[in-house]
Amino acid sequence: MTKAFLSMTFNSIEFVFFFVIAFTVYFLPIMKTATRQNTLLLAASYVFYGMWDWKFLGLILFTTATTFISGKLLMRNKSRLVAGINIVINIGILALFKYFNFFGENLSRLLSLTGWKVDWILIDIILPVGISFYTFQAIGYTIDVYRGDIKDDAGKNPIQFATFIAYFPQLVAGPIERAKNILPQLERVRTWKYEDSVEGLQRIIWGMMKKVVIADQCGVHTDIIWQQGLDVAHGEIKMFFAVLLFSIQIYCDFSGYCDIALGASRMLGIKLMENFKRPYFSRSVLEFWHRWHVSLMEWFQQYVYIPLGGSRVSRHKHYMNVITVFLISGLWHGASWCFILWGAYWAIAYITAIMLKVSAYKDDTEIKKCNIFGTICSMSVVITGWAIFRSTSISECMALLCKSVIPLTAATTFFCIVTIACMKQKTVRKAGVYIAAATVVAAFIILTDKVITYYYLLYATGMFACEWATRADTWHLYPLPRNKIMRYTLYIFIYMSIILAPSTDSAFIYFQF
């Protein structure tokens, strides 16, 4: 088997054949029971996961077994000891594979400052793909059973429960689902529905376009500019441009994955939760975290933030709860000081917004209301955060922030606010448009003499415009023409864009988490 086949990602031809076969068998007349459908899904999920590395199957089987057994014990007797043991087991496995070397190296450095020389043993192991996602899902199940949030008959079927843990559309990069959403859907027979297949395919093709046409191409140029660094001609401007490209890349990469996951699952008759709700249109940094990676933040809210007291405690303790959540969130993304710094940065930004009494805009019915100034300010905070997230070391991060990102982000934000304010005045509207256009052209001239190289930015602009136009719709991500010819023309255009996009063999960013 080739390496490409072993890593069966959503954007590979192997996955297309795999899914077509699984989908076809799934809805055969012989599969008219929930048990048979779940057995097929479980087998397909283990095949899908085993293609990465068959040794990873033992780990997910162990997590499934311990969580299932502890769940059955908790349904008989709400024992804090049983729940605690299973949570410790799952966190221990995650810490061993993901954080052992990181904490060991830093502990060794800390002890060396006191005169102790410790030769820490490093474990050369591969991080199992998706371990953070299915581990959190298993921990959430254990806590839900202990709390009594799951009815007694749920999770008693081992095939059904194993399918919940290993369900392949959301296994390796989420969304992190709660048992009360998935288990009831696995209990009943799923029948083929034309509407589900059509809407699922629409979602898949949109996600593929985000990943292949936009994210992967952004990633190529981001890596090239990042390797050059600040010590080149116009290095500060180029690095700022690279951070902007990465901001587009990570959004299209992760949200594209979730679109494919939700679309594939929809075709199988199972509805997953929305993991992205147009976060780049957020009108405040508080709203951003209600719309970015929704499943992860809801997990932290339910199992960390609220148990610590949430906001129903003293002000200082409330702030400490926020700091705790964001520091753990940063560490969840990877064993790196830059991720921890990213979490600390967002904790400060979030607390500052709370202190300034910025609106969180939690009501989804208000999503169509526009606050362009709030969106610009919140995106400036988001982009600065991505510079920290993308950095490989603290020294690189500090240099990037001080010499490039912070001053240029502040200047760009000020320029955008002034330009928009001027454009609201009829007398200077044209001047504002001309100034904005001239600035964009000048930036491209400075960056490269081959503007066509950045064609994918046109796709990114169109993608964000479509998501803006459909921002009040929780499912459809782009407007569809009513005319059938125009609609199929749009499908063909997106499909051909995916096929003709330069191949990069780039994995999804969140697979490393």
Catalytic residue numbers, as ranges: 333
At a CB cut-off of 8 Å and minimum separation 6, what does 115 contact? none
3-state secondary structure string, 364-383? Answer: HHHCCCCCHHHHHHHHHHHH
* CB-CB contact of 253 with 10 (8 Å): no
Determine the Cα–Cα distance for residues 134 and 177; give it in Å rounded to an integer: 9
Close Cβ partners of 207 (under 8 Å, ≥ 6 residues apart) = 10, 255, 256, 257, 258, 259, 260, 261, 263
CB atoms within 10 A of CB 8: 22
What residues have CB less than 8 Å from 124, skipping those under 6 apart? none
CB-CB contact of 303 with 143 (8 Å): yes
Tokens of 156: 């008693």
Q: Where are the alpha helices (DSSP H) in 293-452?
A: 294-300, 315-333, 337-355, 372-390, 394-400, 406-423, 429-447
Instruction: State the number of CA atoms in the 13 A half-sphere of 432 facing the CB.
Output: 15
The answer to whether 138 touches 176, Cβ cutoff 8 Å, is no
How many other C-beta atoms lie within 10 A of the C-beta of residue 223?
A: 16
Cα(161)–Cα(159) distance, rounded to whole angstroms? 5
The CA–CA distances, whole Å, from 184 to 3, 173, 190 equal: 37, 22, 12
Q: Which residues contact 360 (CB under 8 A, 6 or more apart)?
A: 284, 286, 287, 290
Q: How far apart, in whole angstroms, are the C-alpha atoms of residue 378 and residue 349?
A: 10
- Please give the Cα distance from 46 to 186 (Å, whole number): 17
